[in-house]
A and B are shown apart, each in its own frame.
Chain A
Amino acid sequence: MLELQGVKKTYGKGGLEVQALRGIDLQIEEGEFSTVFGPSGSGKTTLLNLIGALDRATEGTVKLNGNSTGEMRKNQLALLRRDNIGFIFQDFNLIPVLTAFENVEFALKIARKNGKTTGEKARKILERVGLGEKLHRRPGELSGGQKQRVAIARALVKEPRLILADEPTANLDSDTSREVLEIMVQMNEELNTTFIFSTHDPRVMEYARRLLEIKDGRITRDEGRV
């Protein structure tokens, strides 16, 4: 479902150029549960941004479901993200003026999945991540772990084919991290949703079925490939 060929990404211009990715070739199949790990500044987030159609490669091609993101316009990229990708971030990035339920339902509304079932879907997914009792709490009234569960529910509710999680456990304690990761594993198994993590937390790697190590903008290890 995802294919990267000779992908390079350079930031800045002239003498201030920084090469974040120096040539990535990668294929990810549907249903994979993969982790990209490596030290800070190795290019993990840049790789996820390119896969998530948030950014364009300087060189090479990124193909998602056969669509080359480098050739798409801004609005087309927005539609691609809307219909195919869910994002989970370490800072949760929930909309503070919406309740947990509304944050999740909003994702469905953006995806133009209207109708009477959106509320029911949002409720069910929040119950599945253990937040059935806190539907109407705003993010400010939830703990870090609960916020991340809302973020997971929000990413999953529109049933995307791919979920990108950028250091999803970085702001969570170990017990909460474990809970959150178990939820994601469960979702991966039940819904066959593809998960790609970026992390440098060894506990996260324990859950991954494929490990991709990245150093200085290159993939230096690829273990457990399907």
Chain B
Amino acid sequence: MAEDPGVTAELILASAGCAALCYTLGRHNRALTLQRWHFVLNGPERQAIESLRQKMQLDSALARQALDAAGRAREANRVPDALTVLRVALSILEDAGADRLTRLRAMGVYSRMVRAIQPLPPPGAGPFRGPGLRAAASLAGFAHRFLVGTQERFRLWLLFLGLGVRIVLRGGRRLAHEASRQPHLGRPWDLFARGLSDFDALDASHLSAFEALAASLAAVDRGGRLRLWDRIAGDAR
């Protein structure tokens, strides 16, 4: 009886390559990619930074106002009102967190499109108060030393910021639940306030990363940008 020759390495490699190609190119959206490049090559950097700063200030003010109102209601022994307003503060934080995570993903994409990223300082535990966030920041700061390229370091920042937002949101949800179970305990309220201040610190780093990316995009000269745009959008090549 003839021996079964088995599956060849070529067949395995060709299947893997073909699957990777079909998956990646099948998802490739030319219109969306062109839209992103349009932003990269024509993006009004200053306006974008200013509008992001205002949005962050507004989110922070709304969340703080809601938390202060909840604290006042709690001191006046209006526990149901205090819990309702605390949940409002949490929902503001969740909306802001979702917005930050979306922007971080977009920044990750744009960071691959620019040639050089303005360097950022290594992440550190200094500005944060929560132990989980401080540990993540220290770990990111340690990993930062082992990365050489500014793009890799920038992406590490993005990774840390995304993780930080998730840590704060998860903590916020847990604390809101704890406060609703034991409304007279002060600890969950204090920790929620600490989470808000950590979110503000994350926002400050988020803005710095956004500024670094915008500055890197602006570093591509105007003539070069126009030529590149003509090429990629007009298929002149």
Bound together: no
Hey, which bits of chain A sit against chain B, CB under 8 A? none
